[in-house]
Amino acid sequence: MSAKNCEQSLYSPVMFNLADDNNWLRLRTVIYDMQEVLRHRDVAVLAAVEALQEAFVAERLLKCLRWHILITPIIQGGTAGIISKQIFRPSG
């Protein structure tokens, strides 16, 4: 075996391993980036769920207030009565 062939056979696995290490490093970076994207997605989903829950509670509160206004006698001429009549008209 010549010295040149011996050197090539010694360096070939090293070059392959270095290229392989670079690929693994890139893959790790891509995986890390994907995990970061998934974390952001999870936070966005949780924020959307919380916003929907708050909207549901606000809607229920408005419905309760409308029913309260319909059931409770409103004092004629009072400011609270006029405001509540304008804001909380029963939807129909």
**pLDDT tens string 76-91:** 555 555 555 666 565 6
What domain count does the chain have?
1
Q: The domain containing residue 43 runs over which residues?
A: 21-74
Q: How far apart are the first and last CA of the chain?
A: 96
CA distance 61 to 84: 14
pLDDT: which is higher, 2 or 55: 55
- 66 within domain boundaries: yes
Q: Give CA 75 to chain center in angstroms.
A: 47
Higher-pLDDT residue of 36 and 19 is 36
Find tokens 């974390």 and name the residue.
39
| 3-state SS class at 74 | coil
Residue 36 inside a domain? The answer is: yes
**How do residues 26-79 score in pLDDT, each as one tens digit?**
888 899 999 999 999 999 999 999 999 999 999 999 998 888 777 766 655 555
C-alpha–C-alpha distance, residues 40 and 52, integer Å = 18
